[in-house]
Amino acid sequence: MSLEQRLAEFIQRVSYDDLDEETIKTVKRQLAAFFGALIAGSSTNATAVAEYTKEVGGKPEATVFVIGGRIPAHQAAFTNAAIGRALDIDDHISPGAHIGSAVIPAAFAVAELICGCSGKDLITAIAAGTEVSLRLLLDENDYAGFDPTGVSAVFATAAATSKILGFDEFMTRNTLGLISDRSGASYQHYIDGVMGGPLMEGWVAQAGVDCARLTQKGLTGTVNFLEGVYGYFHLFGRDKEDLSYVTADLGNKWHLRNLNFKKYPSCGMTQGSTELILKMMEKYSFTADDVERIKIRIPPYAFKLVGHPFKVGDNPRVDAQFNVAYCVANALIRAPVILSHFDAEFISDLRISQFVHNNIEVVSDVSVDRTHYSSDIHVQIKGGNEYHGQIDIPPGTPANPMSDEEHRRRFFDCVEYSGKSWLKGREEEILDCIETLETKDDACGIIPLFQP
């Protein structure tokens, strides 16, 4: 049986009873992280996406969360995903895939199309989609500048929409085949400081809805989209010979339990450096005013994405989120690190930019390439003292998980950041609805909690 057939069979057959407790808990954390990110993102310029999709209009099939209104399902998925990714604080995993902000809005959009689905079915669809995406996720050397979200998360949205719509194995495989032609995106948008990341997340979600509905109309997709001569593993996988890992223990061992959640509101590859400088400040009792020079050494892959010289362009938030020097300077000067530190008024603070340019050096160093998130920091203090620290496993990873209270506090922070008074007081109800989602006859019952 081909890989394409085995993945389609898994998606079609998997049930809620196949999910273990930790897998279910991880999906619920995906949901809480996404909804928190969406609420906070609704106060950013990403809302222009909602303005656009509402202007285009169309059949009122699915809901635009937080902002309100109903638009065609594929446009709702696009809008909710783009806004949910705007602050880059959703779930993620090495080498940089963001799956939750695509698969969750796609799943809800098709759930609304069929007038609702049970909480168990929604959890199962999100789990199946996330798992398929992770099974197909390659490493940073394979992608070589392709954005893993645009390359692999498309399969998550196709899998989840197929599952919710009750597709058989053939239709599921066909939806995956259709969406394989939407696989691809570049990391360059982060380096250039533009809104390509959130928009890409939206397109990934939209494609999942579109391809499922095209399957319903009888249109066919690529059959050998993984193992074909020009399939996924040739184009992105550099013709890997042993692909047994893709389906090894499929349905029994859940890779989605390895998802990461962010403690700080910036790129995953700045999490380690941010945590490290804060720990060093605490351990050695120094402040920004004491610092003569800082040298940050990060792996080459991370350096290409977040090690470039700090600049402020048309989208300052992206410039700051994807710049390790800014993140370290911000932690030094303003600790604790909060969402508002990535607003334009904070980013344009001359004290930050001067500190970055005068006191911080970022170096690409292959010897630091211990993990995707590794960072070594050398701090030279005025007067002669020097301190060195290193980190390989930042907070929010399975080996160094955030606590339940930290997840909860982050959700409350997102609501606070949004400035939407009508959401104040609903935090507990939303989190409780997520926590008990498997008991709900209709998962879409949560939607009114995100409406004014």
State yes or no: cis peptide before 95, omega within 30 of 0.
yes
The residue among 119, 201, 220 whose CA lies nearest residue 157 is 201
Write down the CATH number for the domain with range 3-263+409-450: 1.10.4100.10
What is the DSSP code string of 39-59? HHHTTSTTHHHHHHHHHH---
Q: Percent of the chain having pLDDT more than 70?
A: 100
Residues of the chain with CATH 3.30.1330.120: 268-391
Res 331: pLDDT:
98
Residue 269 has pLDDT above 90, yes or no: yes
Predicted confidence band of residue 241 (pLDDT cuts 50, 70, 90)? confident
CA distances from 43 to 16, 83, 84, 166, 269 (A): 35, 9, 11, 36, 24
State yes or no: cis peptide before 299, omega within 30 of 0.
no
Separation of CA 358 from chain center = 32
The residue among 143, 98, 105, 97 whose CA lies nearest residue 126 is 105
Residue 452 has pLDDT above 90, yes or no: no
How do residues 48-105 score in pLDDT, each as one tens digit? Answer: 999 999 999 999 999 999 999 999 999 999 999 999 999 999 999 999 999 999 999 9
Res 299: pLDDT:
96
How do residues 389-434 score in pLDDT, each as one tens digit? Answer: 999 999 999 999 999 999 999 999 999 999 999 999 999 999 999 9
Q: DSSP assignment, residue 104?
A: H
Instruction: Give me the helices (H) in 245-383, please.
Output: 268-284, 300-306, 316-321, 324-334, 344-347, 350-359
How do residues 56-68 score in pLDDT, each as one tens digit? Answer: 999 999 999 999 9
Beta bridge partners of 364: 298
Res 323: pLDDT:
97
How do residues 142-168 score in pLDDT, each as one tens digit? Answer: 998 999 999 999 999 999 999 999 999
**What is the average pLDDT score of the chain?**
96
Residues of the chain with CATH 1.10.4100.10: 3-263+409-450
The highest-level CATH class for domain 268-391 is: alpha beta
* Structure tokens given for 417: 């950041």
The residue among 4, 268, 255, 261 whose CA lies nearest residue 130 is 255
Predicted confidence band of residue 240 (pLDDT cuts 50, 70, 90)? confident
How do residues 293-333 score in pLDDT, each as one tens digit? Answer: 999 999 999 999 999 999 998 899 999 999 999 999 999 99
Residue 228 has pLDDT above 90, yes or no: yes
3-class SS at 356? helix
Predicted confidence band of residue 372 (pLDDT cuts 50, 70, 90)? confident
Residue 1 has pLDDT above 90, yes or no: no
